Amino acid sequence: MNKLETLTPSLRDKIVLGERNYHDDPSTPVSNFLARTKRHCNGGKTVDAGLWLRGHCDRGGKIFLTMAGAGSSLQMGITISELIRAGKIAGISVSGANLEESLYRLVAHSHYAYIPDYLELTAQEEKELDHKGFRRITDTFLPEEESVRVVLPAFEMLWREAQEQGRPRFWHEYFFELFERNLIPVDPGANLDDCWLYWAWKEGVEVCVGGAEDSTMGNIFSYYTYGGSHPLLSRYAQEHPISPEVVHHSFRYMHRLAEWYLEHARGEGLAFLQLGGGIAGDFPICVVPHLKKDYLADETTEKQESLIRPWAGFIEIHSSPMSFGSYSGAGGKEKITWSKLEPNAFMMQIFGDYTEHFPDIAALVLRK
C-alpha cells in the first residue's frame, strides 16, 4: 500500500489489489468455476468480458455479435443459438460464408468429417483431398456435394421467382425464406437447436451480410448472373442469366443497419462482441461514425454525440496482433478516434481462438 501511494494517481488507478469482486452463486457452478480459475492473461480477460456482458444484459442492454472465420462450420451455432433463445442478442453480422455454413450444418451434419492432425498434411495430400471433393476448413471438411449442391435448386428457384416478381431481397432473406417455405432437407443427425440461422429467423434477430460474394453460394450466384462476352466464359455462361439486381447490394445493408441501429441502441445500448476480424466486424461497427459524420455532417460534434449513441462496449476475440494498418487487431482505443466508441466504454481484446473463449463468455452471460 505504501508503494502504491508513491505512484502518480493515473498509474495508481490502473492497479488492482487482490482478486476480482465476484461472489459464488450455488445456481451457477460453471460461472463460479470460470471466475475462480481464470484470473489472469487471456483467461482473466475472458471472464471479465463475460461478467461485463452479463451486467450489460441485466441492465436491459443487448449484444450485437459479429463472426468471421468459419465459426458456423466449427459449430459456434450451438452457443449463439442459446444466446438468441435467451434474448441476449439483438443483431448478428457475419461473412457470407458463415451465413451459409450454418445452413449446411443443418442440411448435411452427418456428412461432416474431421482431421485432427491437419497441420501435418503435405501439399500433395491437400491436392488429393481437393480432387476427391474434401473441402478443408482447418480441422473440418465441409461436405459440398451433400450441402451446397442439395440446396442450390431451391436457391435458384427463389432467385428466378424474385426476378419474375420484380421483388429483390437482402442476401440473408433468401436463406430465411427457405425456412418460411419449408424448403430445407434437414439431416436426421442435425439438431435444430444448434442452427443459429434458424433461431435468428425464428426470433426476428437482425442479420447483416456485408460481403455475400465471399461465400460458395455467393460465387454460384455470381455465375448464374453472368452475362458477359468473354471469349471463354461466355461459352459456359447460363443461357438465361438471372439479374444480379434480385439481391440488394451492400449499400442497402448499410441503409437498413443505420435505421435499425437508431431504434435499438437506446437505453443501455448495444455491446459489440466481435469473433475474429474481417468484414463481418468492420462493416457494422462503422454505422456509428457513418450516422454522425455523414447524415449529421453539418451538425456540431456535440449535437452528433447527443443524437447518436455509440457502441456501449467493444469486446474482440482474435489472433491478429496490432500491426501497421491491421484493422482487425487495432483495439478499442483506436476506434475512439473514429467516433465508434467513447473513452468510458468497456473495451477488451482477447488474443486467441474464439472457439476457446466465446463459449466461456456465453456461459457467464447465461449464468451457467
Q: Quote the pLDDT of residue 324.
A: 67
Mean pLDDT of 71-96: 97
List beta partners, residue 92. Answer: 65, 207
Q: What stretch of H or E contains 66?
A: strand 62-67
Burial of 274 (0-12, 13-18, 19+ CB in 10 A): buried
Q: Quote the pLDDT of residue 170.
A: 98
Torsions phi, psi of 64, nearest 5? -105, 115
Domains of the chain: 25-92+110-144+179-205+249-365 (3.40.910.10)
pLDDT-based confidence at residue 295 (cuts at 50, 70, 90): very high
* Mean pLDDT, the chain, integer: 95
CB crowding 292-318: b at 16 or more within 10 Å, else e: bbeebeeeeeeebeeebbbbbbbbbbb
The pTM for the full model equals 0.95
The 10s digit of each residue's pLDDT in 162-176 is: 999 999 999 999 999
By residue count, the chain amounts to: 368
CA distance 299 to 339: 14
Q: Quote the pLDDT of residue 129.
A: 96
Q: In the chain, what percentage of residues exceed pLDDT 90?
A: 90
Is it the case that residue 350 has pLDDT exceeding 70? yes
CA distance 294 to 298: 8
The 10s digit of each residue's pLDDT in 178-202 is: 999 999 999 999 999 999 999 999 9
Q: Cβ(272)–Cβ(85) under 8 Å?
A: no
Mean pLDDT of 302-314: 96
Q: Of 91-95, 104-108, 180-184, 317-321, where does mean pLDDT reach its minimum?
A: 317-321
CA distance 310 to 270: 8
Alpha-carbon distance values, 222 to 162, 232, 245, 247, 355 (Å): 16, 16, 11, 11, 31
17: left (phi over 0), alpha (psi -120 to 50) or beta: beta
Q: Cβ(223)–Cβ(107) under 8 Å?
A: no
Grid cell, residue 295, equals 447524415
Q: In the chain, what percentage of residues exceed pLDDT 70?
A: 98
Q: Quote the pLDDT of residue 2.
A: 84
CA distance 42 to 351: 7
